[in-house]
Amino acid sequence: MRILFYFLLSLFLLNSCQRKVTKNKVENYTEVNLNFKDYKPHKHKSFIDLTIENGVHPIEQQLKISDSGIVSYSFINEKKRELVFKYENREFSLIVSPNEELNAYLSVAELTDWNSTFKGFKITSGENSITNNLILRYTSYLDSLIKQAPNGFSNDGKSVDIDYKNKRMSEMQNQLNAFDLFIRENKIKDKTFIDWSRSQIRYRAGFDLSLFPFFGIMNKEIDDEKEYFNFINELNPNDNEELTYQSYLKYLETLSTSYKIISNIADKYSSKREQLKENSSSNFPILFKMIKKLPKNKEREFLMAYIYRNNNQIPEKYKDSLQFFVSDDILSQVKSLDKIETLDIITLIENYDIPDNEKAALLALYKESKGKVIYHDFWFTNCAPCMKELPNYNDLIATTNQKKVEFIFYGAYMEKDEWRATIEKLKLKGKHHLLTKNQLAFFEKYFGVHGFPHHHIINSNGKISEKVRFGTYPGNFKEINKLIEKNHIVKSKK
């Protein structure tokens, strides 16, 4: 009897202690710990990029890897959501829930090897450990499945848009069928993993289809009411998905850019653009009406938010209209972007945590550029779109006022001999620098360089301005010069 009494007493005290710990714990506190078992600080890149899904305003962090290969990150997380980590241009996703502590053991060697299947990766704890281990184990399978289809960068200027659309949608359906067979054969029943995987397949098709008509060419014949854009309805987004996946948001942001291009160049809207010239320097009213007439659903909300977020020339009469088309949450995400202020490029480089010699090399490129707009291009030789654009630069430079602008070309992922030989072969003008891994990490953080080619402008005050969202082709020279002129800020005389 006495033994039973002490047992019950100890059980009561244990439960009381547990309740006390839970009560004092910060609500919705989520912790992520990554352990790179083979990390060598003097050999490997010192930073890993993290993007946390947060609607149209993703939370982006660049995390320093400790000398022992540890990355720890914690945040207040009120819902289940997707995290995307990126290291050396290779991505992997993890799912986290509120109050979760996730511990992962990873390998730098596997992460930097494009043939790796992440077999050495393991999630050892966390509420979503089963889902996350499935994602890591089968990411390479999904990548190989998706790569079988012709991507959005494959437009050679000779393809017929509708033929590409039909082929790409057919490929998407084949991939979904193959995945359904795969999960049956492997007896996979984890709903989050299945939803995440199908989203990767479906929204990569949407991304490709949004990009294709305008990649490398100015297609004036296509517009939002052509049959081609029926793919938006055919993608069949699943409203029952428990998460908002980043693949979905990437697709919608790309689609919003395509709508913007249509508003600027489509023959259908040429007369409307002429009318707008009298009262506005922006074609935003055309773009706004295109999105407004779409079916009232989640896709329209996000598209409307993206055109506001990514447009610096919104006419006064439209500035308060967004609130009528999006939820309060999305509205707050767009408004929060207005509060972001940037330091000048020199200060950002000086304060960045990389060795002094790497800082000095970057600072030297900007030393004599005071008062000039700086146009950046990020490239490497194995990037087909990069090599398609580079030969056009000397012609572009010849059209600019070189007293107002400088061009800096940053190479990446190349050996020095290969880099120099390419520049010499093209007789490429401008300033040139081959980035180290940590220097590239700086531009990943502040310019958002997560794909190539990447074009970005610093205004004449030295502040980071905007990403250039169209390619360096003769048909775009006029628009590029307009951007340069817009970013040349004339100081008022006192």
Question: Could you give the maximum distance between any two Cα atoms of the chain, in Å?
Answer: 96
Burial class (CB in 10 A: 0-12, 13-18, 19+), 295: exposed
| 432 touches 363 (CB < 8 A) | no
Segments making up each domain of the chain, as ranges: 29-132, 148-337, 345-486
What integer pLDDT is reported at residue 336 of this predicted model?
Answer: 66
What integer pLDDT is reported at residue 195 of this predicted model?
Answer: 94
Fold of 345-486: Glutaredoxin (3.40.30)
Burial class (CB in 10 A: 0-12, 13-18, 19+), 373: buried
SS3 of 429-470? CCEEEECCHHHHHHHHHHCCCCCCCEEEEECCCCEEEEECCC
pLDDT in tens, 62-75: 999 999 999 999 98
- The whole-angstrom separation of Cα 197 and Cα 191 is 10
Beta strand ranges found along 350-404 (DSSP E): 373-379
What integer pLDDT is reported at residue 25 of this predicted model?
Answer: 59
- pLDDT class for 238, splitting at 50, 70, 90? low
Lowest mean pLDDT among 130-139, 203-212, 239-248: 239-248
pLDDT in tens, 203-237: 999 999 999 998 877 788 999 999 999 999 888 66
Report the length, in residues, of the chain: 494
What integer pLDDT is reported at residue 280 of this predicted model?
Answer: 65
Report residue 293 as tokens. Answer: 């007439």
- The whole-angstrom separation of Cα 197 and Cα 471 is 31
pLDDT in tens, 149-192: 998 888 877 778 999 999 999 999 999 999 999 999 999 999 99
CA 120 from chain centre, in angstroms, equals 26
What integer pLDDT is reported at residue 418 of this predicted model?
Answer: 96
Q: Is the pLDDT of residue 401 over 80?
A: yes
In this structure, which amino acid lies at residue 400?
Answer: T
Q: Which CATH architecture has domain 29-132?
A: Sandwich (2.60)
Burial class (CB in 10 A: 0-12, 13-18, 19+), 271: exposed
Considering only CA atoms, which of 465, 434, 469, 443 is closest in space to residue 455? Answer: 469
**Close Cβ partners of 211 (under 8 Å, ≥ 6 residues apart):** 152, 153, 254, 258
**Close Cβ partners of 148 (under 8 Å, ≥ 6 residues apart):** 171, 175
Q: b/e for 234-254, b at 16 or more Cβ within 10 A?
A: ebebeeeeebbbbbbbbbbbb
Residue, of 367 and 3, whose pLDDT is higher: 367
Domains 29-132 and 345-486 share a fold: no
* DSSP letter for each residue of 253-264: HHHHHHHHHHHH
- The whole-angstrom separation of Cα 8 and Cα 416 is 72
The 8-class DSSP code of residue 344 comes to B
Over range 91-112, report the average pLDDT.
95
pLDDT in tens, 288-331: 999 999 999 999 999 999 999 888 778 889 989 999 999 998 99
What integer pLDDT is reported at residue 3 of this predicted model?
Answer: 46
Measured distance between the N- and C-terminal CA atoms of the chain, rounded to whole angstroms: 93
Report residue 261 as tokens. Answer: 């291009």
Summary mean pLDDT of the chain: 88
Over range 113-138, report the average pLDDT.
93
H or E element that contains 81:
strand 81-87
* DSSP letter for each residue of 234-249: HT---TT-SS--HHHH
Considering only CA atoms, which of 99, 105, 93, 169 is closest in space to residue 131? Answer: 93
- The whole-angstrom separation of Cα 276 and Cα 255 is 23
pLDDT in tens, 264-275: 999 999 999 988
- The whole-angstrom separation of Cα 47 and Cα 87 is 8
What integer pLDDT is reported at residue 491 of this predicted model?
Answer: 61
